[in-house]
């Protein structure tokens, strides 16, 4: 067999796999098969304590595997095929483009924290400055391929849409506010360098053949899965117990109404929940009676957790961190209350 | 003949994917050396002023060969790195 033929065969096999994954998701939609788990908190009351994690995990895995498989495949493909050199070139061109890319395109790329800090610093140092950098930082955890898909499938698609819009508003507000403060400006002046990004032939990305790119994309998907799934599964086990033993009266008493939004935003913010676990916890709390408005503010608490803030404060100093955390927190409360009032789900 | 410089660009401390790229670069370098090309593999910090000014790389892991970023945001195969390095050597001899 010639090398060219082998290559074509491998490309075909890989494309077939990708289409099969997409097809599975579409098929599951057509037959209205639930991709989210189906057990209710009441179903757990009859189980022994050691049985709970198994039932809970099985409930998630048996329904959610199509969704998880699709999410990790999609994340790998988006990351691999996104024209990174173009993003780099346009990032520095002007402020408006900077905000557009930081809020729209860049978050799609950042499916794990390993890619987030360099990207943040890159935007701050070489490109559009502190405002877009903060926008990106707050937008990334809410608007990447993985979170959008899982929020949509495991919670609901209207919550996913509202989450993206609300996060966008928050991220833009925080970015603009930080860029207007004197400490934000001084960080920008101090850190800015004149980069030659994409000019004078310093960046000429090699384009490998399609089959190698597909393999790289799927490998990255697998890598992401190995990074995220252990936390996801550990989270599920804990959530399984919470769902089984948490009295509904506590959740209904504290996580509804105006106070519910406030409480959810306070515990959802600083508390460090690894990627995607917030969706599972949110789902379980929602079943136990948390209001949808409180759920929104819980989900929006993602970007300003403690781990994230410490990493960023090393680059920008604590004043910038406090400014964006406070802005993001007030925005999440205000927007969630607004959502609650408008949809009658406070 | 001048040494060919391969820079693996990533955060410090390096992420798992950057380590993988560095290992691949070193393996490729080993093969190139036995073919008579001198290669130096270094780890560069993506957050350093020097690297940012020079390349403006945003996505790690990245790899620059002879001062040109050829790989960004992915892990190349050893064969690809070898090929890219050979191209760089050929281009240099043409100049």
Residue in A189, A203, A204 to test binding to B, most B beta-carbons within 10 Å: A203
Q: What is the pTM of this model?
A: 0.80
Report the C-alpha gap between B81 and B75 in whole angstroms.
Answer: 10
With respect to residue B84, please indicate whether it lies within any of the assigned structural domains. yes
Residue with tokens 């790195």: B81
Concatenating the DSSP letter of every residue in A53-112 gives: HHHHHHHHHHHHHHHHHHHHHHHHHHHHHS-HHHHHHHHTT-HHHHHHIIIIIHHHH--S
Q: What is the CATH number of the domain that holds B32?
A: 3.40.30.10
Is the distance from CB of B6 to CB of B24 less than 8 angstroms?
A: no
Query: What is the Cα–Cα distance from A46 to A32, expressed in whole angstroms?
Result: 29
User: Which domain does B57 fall in, by range?
Assistant: 4-89
Asked whether A283 and A155 are in contact (CB, 8 A), the reply is yes
Query: Does the CB of A79 have a partner CB in chain B at under 8 Å?
Result: yes
Written as tens digits, the pLDDT of chain B (95 aa) is: 678 889 998 887 777 888 889 999 999 998 888 888 888 898 988 877 778 777 877 777 889 998 888 888 888 888 889 888 888 888 777 76
For residue B95, is it within any domain? no
- For residue A115, list chain B residues with Cβ-Cβ distance below 8 A: 59-60, 73
B50: number of Cβ within 10 Å:
10
- Residue A203 DSSP one-character state: B
Neighbours of A83 (CB within 10 A): 10
Residues 6+ apart with CB under 8 A from A272: A305, A306, A307
Nearby residues of A125 by Cβ (< 8 Å), 6 or more positions away: A191, A192, A193, A195, B47, B49, B52
Distance CA A266, CA A94 (A): 36
**Dihedrals φ, ψ of A94, to 5°?**
-155, 175
pLDDT values of chain A reduced to their tens digit, one per residue, 346 residues = 677 888 888 888 889 998 888 888 888 877 777 777 777 777 777 777 788 888 888 888 888 888 888 888 888 888 888 777 777 777 666 778 888 888 887 777 766 555 677 778 777 876 678 888 888 888 887 777 888 888 888 888 889 999 999 989 999 999 999 988 888 888 777 766 655 444 555 777 877 888 888 888 888 888 888 888 888 888 888 888 887 888 888 888 888 888 888 888 888 766 666 667 888 888 888 888 889 999 998 888 766 667 677 777 877 888 888 898 889 889 999 999 999 999 888 7
Closest Cβ opposite residue A126 in set B52, B60, B70? B52
For residue A113, give Cα distances in angstroms to A51, A116, A140.
Answer: 33, 5, 9
Q: Is residue B94 part of a domain?
A: no
Pure H helices in chain A? 3-30, 41-44, 52-81, 84-91, 95-100, 106-109, 113-126, 130-143, 145-150, 157-180, 182-191, 210-245, 248-254, 257-268, 277-287, 292-300, 306-316, 318-343
Domain-wise residue ranges, chain A: 3-26+50-343
CB contact under 8 A, B56 and A119: no
Q: Contact, A197 vs A124, CB < 8 A?
A: no
Report strand pairing: B62-65 vs B39-45: unpaired
Strand partners, B6: B41, B65
| Distance from C-alpha of A16 to C-alpha of A29, rounded to nearest angstrom | 20
CB atoms within 10 A of CB A40: 10
Cβ pair B55:A118 closer than 8 A: no
Q: How far apart are CA A245 and CA A204, in angstroms?
A: 57
CA A83 to chain centre: 20
Structural domain contains residue B21: yes
Chain A stretch 80-119, residues whose beta carbon is closer than 8 A to a beta carbon of chain B: 80, 84-85, 87-88, 91-92, 109, 114-115, 117-119
What pLDDT, on a 0 to 100 scale, did the predictor assign at position A182?
85
Q: How many domains does chain B have?
A: 1
Task: Give A-chain residues touching B80 at CB under 8 angstroms.
Answer: 206, 208, 212
Q: Do B46 and A122 touch (CB under 8 A)?
A: yes
Q: How many CA atoms lie within 13 A of A220 on its CB side?
A: 30
DSSP secondary structure string for all residues of A142-177: HHSHHHHHHIIIII-HHHHHHHHHHHHHHHHHHHHH
């Amino acid at each position: 067999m010639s090398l060219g033929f082998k290559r074509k065969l491998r490309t075909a096999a890989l494309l077939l796999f990708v289409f099969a994954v997409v097809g599975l998701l579409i098929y599951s939609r057509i037959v209205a098969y639930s991709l989210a788990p189906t057990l209710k908190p009441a179903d757990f009351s009859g189980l022994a304590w050691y049985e709970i994690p198994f039932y809970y995990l099985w409930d998630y895995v048996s329904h959610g595997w199509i969704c998880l498989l699709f999410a990790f495949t999609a994340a790998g493909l988006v990351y691999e095929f996104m024209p990174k050199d173009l993003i780099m070139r346009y990032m520095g061109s002007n402020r408006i483009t900077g905000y557009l890319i930081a809020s729209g395109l860049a978050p799609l790329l950042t499916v794990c924290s390993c890619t987030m800090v360099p990207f943040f610093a890159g935007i701050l140092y070489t490109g559009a400055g502190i405002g877009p950098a903060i926008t990106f930082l707050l937008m990334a955890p809410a608007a990447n391929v993985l979170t959008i898909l899982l929020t949509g499938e495991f919670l609901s698609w209207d919550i996913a849409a509202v989450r993206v819009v609300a996060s966008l508003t928050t991220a833009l507000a925080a970015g603009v506010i930080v860029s207007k403060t004197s400490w934000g400006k001084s960080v920008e002046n101090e850190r800015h360098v004149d980069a030659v990004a994409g000019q004078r032939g310093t960046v000429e990305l090699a384009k490998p053949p399609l089959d190698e790119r597909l393999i790289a994309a799927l490998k990255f998907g697998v890598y992401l899965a190995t990074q995220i799934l252990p936390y996801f599964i550990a989270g599920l086990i804990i959530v399984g117990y919470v769902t089984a033993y948490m009295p509904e009266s506590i959740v209904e008493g504290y996580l509804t109404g105006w106070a519910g939004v406030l409480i959810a935003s306070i515990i959802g913010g600083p508390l460090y929940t690894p990627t995607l676990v917030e969706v599972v916890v949110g789902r379980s709390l929602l079943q136990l009676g948390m209001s949808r408005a409180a759920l929104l503010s819980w989900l929006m608490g993602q970007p300003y957790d403690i781990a994230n803030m410490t990493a960023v404060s090393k680059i920008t100093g604590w004043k910038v961190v406090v400014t964006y955390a406070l802005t993001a927190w007030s925005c999440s409360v205000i927007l969630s209350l607004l959502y609650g009032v408008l949809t009658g789900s406070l | 003949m001048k040494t060919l410089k391969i820079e693996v660009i990533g955060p410090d401390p390096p992420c798992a994917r950057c380590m993988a790229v560095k290992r691949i670069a070193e393996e490729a370098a080993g093969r190139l050396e036995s073919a008579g090309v001198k290669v130096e593999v270094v780890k560069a910090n993506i957050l350093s002023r020097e690297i940012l000014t020079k390349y403006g790389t945003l996505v790690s892991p990245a790899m620059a060969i002879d001062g040109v970023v050829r790989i960004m945001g992915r892990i190349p195969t050893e064969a690809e790195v070898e090929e890219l390095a050979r191209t760089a050597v050929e281009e240099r001899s043409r100049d």
